[in-house]
Amino acid sequence: MLCWVMMLPSFARGYQLFEEKGKVGIMDDTGRVVLPPAFEALGWSDGNFSVIGEVTGYRLQGSWGIINLSKKFITQADYESLVYCGGDCIVARKKISPVSTSAGCIDLKGEIKIPFVYDGILMQGLRAVVFNLKGPHYYYGLVDIHNRVLIPVAFKNIRPLGTLRFAVENFDGKIALFGDEGNRLTDFSVDSVSTFYKGFAIIYQDHLQGLVDRDGAVKLDVKYNAIKIDNNGHVFTQLPNEWLFINEKNETIKQVFADELTPLDEKRWVIRKGNVSGLMDGELHALVPILYDGFLEIEPGKYFVRRNSKWGVIGEQGKILIPCSFDSLVRETGGYRAYDRNLGWQLIDANGKELTGKYYDYLAPDGQDGFVCTRKGFWGMINAQGREFIHCVFDSIAMPIDRLVAVKFKGSYGIINSSEDWVVAPQPFPLTVINGQRYLQRQPANNFIKSLTGEILYFTPYRLAFRAENFIEFLPDGMEKTVSYNGEIIHRLPLPENVNEVFPESEGLRGIKKDGRYGFVDQRGRLRIANRYDSIGEFHEELAAVKLIGKWGFVNTHDQIAVNPNYDNCSFFQNGLAIVSRNKKYGLIARNGNTALQLRYDRVLRLPDHKFMLASSSLQGLADESGNVMVEPRFNQLSDAGNNMLVACRDGKCGVITNQGLSVIPMIYDRLNTFYTQHVFLAEKKSVWKSIEIK
């Protein structure tokens, strides 16, 4: 034990700060005061505290110096900052003149290693990246700890890539690889370079990747979409996706490598590589460079683009019309609505010139030729030239109708014109402008149709729907009344007594519910099909679906059963066919009830071209307009390719077949789109990761 106690002083002691009366000192791990509490701060100006070789930094009267633990001031407090950077190096900053400061490097003895001639220093082991401001730009160089110039201070940026290697960027935005002695290892040709890992660095050029070793030798050409290096130093690569323009014979016409290729039309293509996009013409020549992380066509030759999360507008060949400086940009007649999250909304013209003299919290088209807006919580309107013709003083404001605007002002409701004159004075009940002569007043018990002079023309507690020449009143029993804006009833639908519900008219007949059963009446309210059904559909092609004793069939306009009710579900007739199901299997029937397509599919869906998609066990097939099976369900996806062909996909691969199911293009592609007018297909082959041996 005695031996152990005697050995303790030989171990390195730890130090910690303590504070008394607002001053800072240092004590060791035994609690002995090493430096008395007489300093504003101890350690380093970046907030870190350490004692290096019995030396640390101190601050007095706002300035920094170096002191040792023997209470000897190694330097005076002459520095604005001191930051320890490892080894024997402290990056310091001090005033050179009353208006300027410079950075240099001193050692733990306070001796100058790198003179105070730089605007900034970034230490990297035994090297220092130094930079100076000249005009609007910083210029970077590399020196050793004795200020020996290794790379002149003439470059846009210098970035360490790990031990002994640096990425040097010129003012053309291109990067070269340099050694720690300033020796250039590669040309200025790449856009970016990673740090070294397992002896390799990934280089980036034109949105593709390659690989170099520490000597700058290219180990993999810049042609890959992505490169990975695992913990064992194995290299994996992925080429970009391959896009092929192929004809009906599966012959390649054109080829391009990209992550995504999306047509704007058949002669312009949005191309995406990585997270950025550009535009190509039909011959795959660049129209807009691949620079933007968002791309949207406004009109032919003009595009919304986003860069660094900001939106702008460009023309063909990438000409900048409005710089990418807005968080949101919306096309309007003659200009744009532009949003800056720090300022708000404004109107700008087609050249980006500001039209509004102020910013708004909300700005939206009013449906005519102006904009509804809010500012400081109040509503108003501006015109297309940016002038606020209804000032933002209202609690709320509705969209204008015939240049009249319903508003809420200080808790009351009224109507104003575009000159802010009161057309209907403020009053307690909400108002809605109907047209240039009438408005609606909503009271708790009734809705009142009034003239602008306040004359009551009609009132009702029921729902109203307004049309150009008249309005419709909907009664609780389903009856509708057509009323003129002078309050005259133009048409009232007569109905049998005790009708519970009325449905919309179809082919001159209207479904009703009476005494819990369903039937149909004509336009004069006469019962044409007796109310004896459990449920009904609408009339289409003179037949309506009806449900009787739990099964569906069809009835004609003469109250005759046209198709016996023996189906679980049915659609309406269209082009002489209806989709029906029984026992969870679907097919088609004709108007006479004959089966047009056997009920043996899990689903039958009518397509826009009047053909039918057939589904069975999650696979798709196709039937023609008459229900004839063209392709049995054996594909995951089918789509029309024109010229009697179909794009067919199965198990993640796509090809082309005829509408009789014969193969035209083998199913070897990951995606396949068609262009009818050119009889050309755009096929995608996705790349896969591969292991590559580097020699």
- What would the pLDDT profile of 133-191 be if each residue is shown by its tens digit? 999 999 999 999 999 999 999 999 999 998 799 999 999 999 999 999 999 999 999 99
Could you give the percent of the chain with pLDDT greater than 90?
81
Could you tell me which of 286, 282, 315, 311 has the C-alpha nearest to residue 299? 315
Residue 266 has pLDDT above 80, yes or no: no
Residue 228 has pLDDT above 80, yes or no: yes
pLDDT class of 678 with cuts at 50, 70, 90:
low
Could you tell me which of 557, 534, 560 has the C-alpha nearest to residue 546? 534
Distances (CA, A) of 472 to 67, 360, 452, 463, 680: 92, 39, 21, 8, 53
Are 158 and 164 in contact, with CB atoms under 8 Å apart?
A: no
Classify domain 119-238 at the CATH class level: mainly beta
Looking at residue 12, its pLDDT comes to 45
Q: CA 113, 115, 116, 121: dihedral to nearest 10 degrees?
A: -60
Are 218 and 210 in contact, with CB atoms under 8 Å apart?
A: yes
Pick the CATH number of 495-567 from 2.40.10, 1.10.287, 2.60.40, 2.10.260: 2.40.10
pLDDT class of 494 with cuts at 50, 70, 90:
confident
pLDDT class of 677 with cuts at 50, 70, 90:
low
Q: Which helix (H) or strand (E) holds 7?
A: helix 2-7
* Nearest-5° Cα angle at 21, 15 to 25: 20
Distances (CA, A) of 189 to 169, 175, 206, 292, 653: 10, 6, 10, 21, 38
CA distance 186 to 447: 81
Residue 5 has pLDDT above 60, yes or no: no
Looking at residue 267, its pLDDT comes to 83
Per-residue burial over 506-532, b if 16 or more Cβ lie within 10 Å, else e, is eeebbbbbbeeebbbbeeebebbbebe
* pLDDT one-digit tens code per residue, 620-634: 999 999 999 999 999
If one compares 6 and 335, the residue with the highest pLDDT of the two is 335
CA distance 27 to 274: 56
* pLDDT one-digit tens code per residue, 80-130: 999 999 989 999 999 999 889 999 999 999 999 999 999 999 999 899 999
Are 405 and 416 in contact, with CB atoms under 8 Å apart?
A: yes
Residue 219 has pLDDT above 90, yes or no: yes
User: Please, which residues have CB within 8 angstroms of residue 90's CB and are 6 or more apart in sequence?
Assistant: 44, 57, 66, 82, 83, 84, 105, 106, 107, 108
Mean pLDDT of 454-477: 93
Are 211 and 200 in contact, with CB atoms under 8 Å apart?
A: yes
CA distance 272 to 293: 9
Neighbours of 647 (CB within 10 A): 25
Retrieve residue 31's tokens: 């609690």
Looking at residue 13, its pLDDT comes to 66
Looking at residue 676, its pLDDT comes to 60
**DSSP letter, residue 162:** S
- As to burial, measured by CB atoms within 10 angstroms (0-12 exposed, 13-18 middle, 19+ buried), residue 327 is middle
In the sheet with 302-307, reading across from the earlier edge strand, the strands are 294-299, 302-307, 310-315, 320-326
Residue 2 has pLDDT above 70, yes or no: no
pLDDT class of 641 with cuts at 50, 70, 90:
confident
Looking at residue 51, its pLDDT comes to 95
Q: What is the DSSP string of 378-432?
A: EEEEEETTS-EEEEEEESEEPPPBTTEEEEEETTEEEEEETT--EEEEEESS-EE
* Nearest-5° Cα angle at 241, 688 to 645: 110
Tokens 């007018």: give the residue.
677
Classify domain 395-492 at the CATH class level: mainly beta
CA distance 26 to 342: 47
* pLDDT one-digit tens code per residue, 47-57: 999 999 899 99
What phi and psi, each to the nearest 5 degrees, are found at residue 561? -70, 115
pLDDT class of 265 with cuts at 50, 70, 90:
confident
* pLDDT one-digit tens code per residue, 519-537: 999 888 889 999 999 999 9
Tokens 């909907």: give the residue.
474
Amino acid letter, residue 542 = E
Comparing 320-324, 367-371, 507-511, 608-612, the range with the smallest average pLDDT is 367-371
Mean pLDDT of 351-360: 93
Beta bridge partners, 668, equal none
Could you give the percent of the chain with pLDDT greater than 70?
98
pLDDT class of 643 with cuts at 50, 70, 90:
confident
* pTM for the model: 0.70
What phi and psi, each to the nearest 5 degrees, are found at residue 214? -70, -20
Q: Where in the chain is the domain with CATH 2.40.10?
A: 495-567
Mean pLDDT, the chain, as a whole number?
Answer: 92
Looking at residue 4, its pLDDT comes to 32
Residue 1 has pLDDT above 70, yes or no: no
CA distance 154 to 574: 77
pLDDT class of 470 with cuts at 50, 70, 90:
very high
Per-residue burial over 421-456, b if 16 or more Cβ lie within 10 Å, else e, is eebbebeeeebbbbeeebbbbeeeeebbbbeeeeee
Residue 497 has pLDDT above 80, yes or no: no
Instruction: Tell me whether strands 335-340 and 328-332 are parallel, antiparallel or unpaired.
Output: antiparallel
User: Please, which residues have CB within 8 angstroms of residue 577's CB and are 6 or more apart in sequence?
Assistant: 588, 589, 590, 596, 626, 627
